[in-house]
Structure 1
Amino acid sequence: MGGRFLSIGESMVELSQAGDGLLRKGFAGDTLNTAWYARACLPADWSVDYFTALGDDPLSQDMLSFIEAAGIETNNISRIKGGTPGLYLINLKDGERTFSYWRSTSAARQLAADADHLRGTIEGADVIYFSGITLAILATPLAVDTFLAELRRAKAAGKQVVFDPNIRPRLWADKKIMLNTISDGARAATLVMPSFDDEADNFGDANIEATIARYRALGVANVVVKDGAKGVTLDFEGARSHAPAVQAVHVVDTTSAGDSFNGAFLSRLVTGSTPQEAAIFAAEAAAIVIGHHGALINPDLLPKT
């Protein structure tokens, strides 16, 4: 029996170096990346939807076409008259990537502007996924409150609400507001999937046990802590387990390591695998992804079982 997976956040226009001073256009974003890998790994009886706000410009239309071509539904995406998507440029120097962003006027900042539309979109989903970046780019504190209220409502209704804190301090004007909002996001979730490095750097967690304890204290039933090459620690209703990382044959681009893990993990978890089984599958998928250029790789390259 299938279901509906909904990912909410910001997709951006990506400009990367194409040689001879030329740039290549693409589309990516943490929540879109996770939706992409969830779609690639879920069976056909599951639909995958992406929700954001886009403009009415040609770039927004190109992005819609790109998302739809991946088999991801876009029917609920809001369109903002006169709006445009955010944009980022990948800079390469000696093989190292840095990023320049233009997103202050991104239409995605208005994704919670229509509370009724947001509610209807969430009500139609079985699994709702969002991230700390989703919270960070919302235009106003009222928009954050509106968004989190709908997620709390979904959680109370028994839906699976999944949150990756994906902490990016440069997106937040104030560290205290950032930490409080991330914590509020966790309170609205049934499953939180943090990266330990982010939690240690920003919340000061001394170890993974501290990260799990903090999120459990916020009312989160299940926690999956990603710790790079050290693997993943899972705590589901207090039952603790560990899944090792899978070593990539050759690391080329780690941009979407966490996003691909999340999408692959959730694809297995919601279709009946145990958390341990889901984590083992997701680790294999992430190892393949980081062995290729770009955030989004050909789905045919991913593991099938």
Structure 2
Amino acid sequence: MTDVLLLGEPMGLFSATGYGSLKEAMTFNKSVAGAEINVGIGLSRLGHQVEYITKLGKDPIGEFIFEALQKEAIGTNFVTFDEDHNTGLMLKNKVKNDDPDTAYYRKSSAFSTLSKKDVENIDFNNIKVLHVTGIPPALSPSVREAVEYLMQKAKKAGTFITFDPNLRPALWESTQKMLEVLNALAKYADVVLPGISEGETLVGSSDVEAIAQFYKKNGADVVITKSGSQGAYVTEKSKETINVSGFKVEKVIDTVGAGDGFAVGILHAYLEGLNWKEAATYANAIGSLQVQHAGDNEGLPTKEVLNQYVEQNKK
């Protein structure tokens, strides 16, 4: 039985080893990056069975990513290779303060050719949760169609669906198209995970109640709104919204991957049978651990580390 099914584009990440701009950087460390692969790594480290739908180029970066998936114990049953398109990659510089600069090379990547036919044979009878983010639908019309088909099929099968809008305006042809597609996809989700700043774009308001009410009317049973260092707000149907405080972080190293870590906490708690307040606590904890590390997924904990961190930081 698969605990969580993910779909996304993993990229080769080249992180500069010395401080300075990307133009000046001469040496890099190689790793993997991408919202969904971060979620997969986080869940696997917590002991969950994960399968990952993706398409890689038949190239050294694609082969490196495939091996990385195997090393992290992420299922590769739905990974395919494309000999005509390259695997996406990104560069990241090293900074002493604030978030690093990044440069993406993913246009016309192998993953952007993924289509409905690549996901038609997936059987949801053996899958507990489908987790989707708003990034894949931005990458091409064929991926967009595949994502919607997958969510429709999961919904019909009664599979639990979580949706993280994860806005990337630069990847979309227009803001209007982004809003139209993502809010339509959110209708299939049982749980929606927007950020407060994303709410301003998606629903025209940064008010927690307005964001929650929009997605509840849109079909969600639970809306968990992220608020960075302030924690998260949990809104369930027929219940008042509650704030779940964040964890104190002395020094933020890199915020990349914090939102993915948050999603890991929500999914982990759901699979463990915990309530949504507890889920938000675990989500806040993993997010705070991640921002204390450089890299996209280096701070994602094992179950032992997570439980110890939560226990030590109880308020």
TM-score, scaled to structure 2:
0.88
Aligned residue-pair number? 298
Indicate how the Cα distance of structure 1 residues 269 and 3 shifts in structure 2: closer, same or farther if over 3 A, else same: same
For residues 163-242 of structure 1, the aligned pairs below 5 Å read: 163-239=163-239, 240-242=241-243
Q: How does 1:244-283 map to 2 (within 5 A)?
A: 244-283=245-284
1:181 CA displacement:
0.4
- Which residue identity does 2:105 align to in structure 1? W
- In 2, Cα distance between the equivalents of 1:195 and 1:119? 33
1:18 Cα deviation (Å)? Answer: 1.5
- Matched residues in 1 for 2:80 and 2:126: separation? 16
Structure 1 residue 110 corresponds to structure 2 residue 109: no
2:312 alignment counterpart: none
Q: TM-score, normalised by structure 1?
A: 0.91
Alpha-carbon offset, residue 302 of structure 1: 3.6
The Cα offsets for residues 75-104 of structure 1, whole Å up to 9 and x where unpaired, read as 211222222211111134563411111111
From the superposition, tell whether residues 194 and 156 of structure 1 become closer, same or farther in structure 2 (CA, over 3 Å).
same
In structure 1, the residue corresponding to 2:265 is in which secondary structure? helix
| Alignment partners' CA distance in 2, 1:35 and 1:235 | 25
Distance 1:223 1:166 in 2: 14
Matches of 1:304 and 1:34, distance apart in 2? 18
Partner SS state of residue 4, structure 2: strand
- What is aligned with 1:157? 157
Query: How far apart, in 2, do the equivalents of 1:215 and 1:57 lie?
Result: 41
Is the CA contact (8 Å cut-off) linking 1:155 and 1:190 kept in structure 2?
A: no
Residue 231 of structure 1 deviates from its aligned partner by 1.4
Return closer, same or farther for 1:5/1:206 CA change in 2, 3 Å cut-off. closer
**Structure 2 portions without partners, runs of 5+:** 19-24, 309-315
Give the distance between the partners of 2:285 and 2:206, measured in 1 at CA: 28
Distance of 2:60 and 2:214 partners within structure 1: 44
> 1 CA distance for matches of 2:102 and 2:43?
26
Judged with a 3 Å threshold, the aligned counterparts in structure 2 of structure 1 residues 106 and 122 are, in CA distance, closer, same or farther, namely farther
Match of 1:98 among 97, 101, 105: 101
Aligned to 1:39: 44
What aligned pairs does 1:4-83 form with structure 2 within 5 A after superposition? 4-19=3-18, 21-41=26-46, 43=47, 46-83=48-85
Deviations 1:127-161 (A, max 9, x none): 01111102111x22x54234213312211321111
Letter in 1 for 2:103: S
The answer to whether the 8 A contact 2:54-2:80 is kept is yes
Cα distance in 2 for residues equivalent to 1:147 and 1:119: 14
Q: Could you tell me which residue of structure 1 aligns to residue 306 of structure 2? A: 303
The amino acid across from 2:32 in the alignment is F
The answer to whether the 8 Å contact 1:14/1:89 transfers is yes
Residue 198 to residue 177, structure 1, CA distance change in 2 (3 Å): same
Distance in 1 between the 2:288 and 2:221 partners? 28
CA distance in 2, matches of 1:288, 1:35: 16
1:234-267 deviations in Å (ceiling 9; x for gaps)? 1222323221111113211111111011112211
Identity of aligned residues (%): 26
Aligned-residue CA RMSD (Å) = 2.0
**How far did residue 5 of structure 1 move?**
0.9
Do the aligned partners of residues 214 and 50 (structure 1) sit closer, same or farther apart at CA in structure 2, a change above 3 Å counting? same
For structure 1, which runs of at least 5 residues remain unmatched after alignment? none
Does structure 1 retain, via aligned residues, the 8 Å contact 2:88–2:106?
A: yes
